[in-house]
Amino acid sequence: MILAIDPGSTESGYVVLDEELRPIEFGKIDNELLIKKIYDNEFFKCDYIAIEMIASYGMSVGQTIFDTCVYIGRLREAIYNKCPVDIHYIYRKDEKMNLCHTMKAKDTNIRTALIDRFGAVGVKKSPGWFYGVSKDVWAAVAVGVTFSDMYLKDGVFNDK
C-alpha cells in the first residue's frame, strides 16, 4: 500500500492506495491531525510513502509555500520516528508528465487523466473508483499513482 500526501500550509490531502491503486482511505485534514495519525501508527501497514515536494522554478513565492516547506519537514520527522519505510518525494512536474504528458497540465487535466485511467467517480447508489475523492485528495492520488508508475514494477520498488 502507498500513503501519498499533497502537503499544504495548514491542511493536507492524503490517500492510502491499495495494490491496484484504488483509494481505500483518504481525506483533507489539518496538518497537526495528520502528524498525529502518523505518530499513532495509523499508517503502519503502508509499504511506501510518497509526498509531493516543492520545487523552485525561479518565480517568487509567498508565505504559504514556506509554511508548506516547514510542514514537509515536520512530516518527514514524524515518519522517520514512527514508520519503518522510506519517504519518496514526487515533484508536480513529474505528475503532469506522467499522467498528462505535458507540463501545461492543470488540476482538471490531472483529474480527467486519473478518471480516464481508472474509471468514473460514480454516485452514492453506484460508487466508482474515486467515489468521495475531492479537492486536494485528487492531488494526493496523483502523487501516489505517479510514484507507482515511476518506481514500482509488480509491486516491488525499482529505483531507476
Pairing status of strand 11-17 against strand 2-6: antiparallel
Residue 150, class by beta-carbon neighbours within 10 Å (0-12 exposed, 13-18 middle, 19+ buried)? middle
In this prediction, residue 160 carries a pLDDT of: 56
- Report the helix count and the strand count for the chain, using DSSP H and E: 5, 7
First to last CA, the chain: 20
Instruction: State the pLDDT at residue 148.
Output: 95
- Can you give the pTM of this predicted structure? 0.88
pLDDT along the chain (160 residues), means of 10: 93 94 93 90 84 82 82 88 86 96 95 92 86 90 96 73
DSSP label at 156?
E
Pairing mode, if any, of strands 87-91 and 156-157?
Answer: unpaired
- Cβ-based neighbours of 102, under 8 Å, separated by 6 or more: 96, 109
| Distances from the Cα of 121 to the Cα of 18, 108, 114, 128, angstroms | 17, 14, 10, 5
pLDDT at residue 39, rounded to an integer = 86
Q: What is the structure's pLDDT at 135?
A: 84
Q: Domain limits at 149?
A: 2-157
Pairing of strands 48-53, 2-6: parallel
**Domain tally for the chain?**
1
Question: How high is the pLDDT of residue 31?
Answer: 93
User: How many CB atoms sit inside 10 A of residue 77's CB?
Assistant: 12
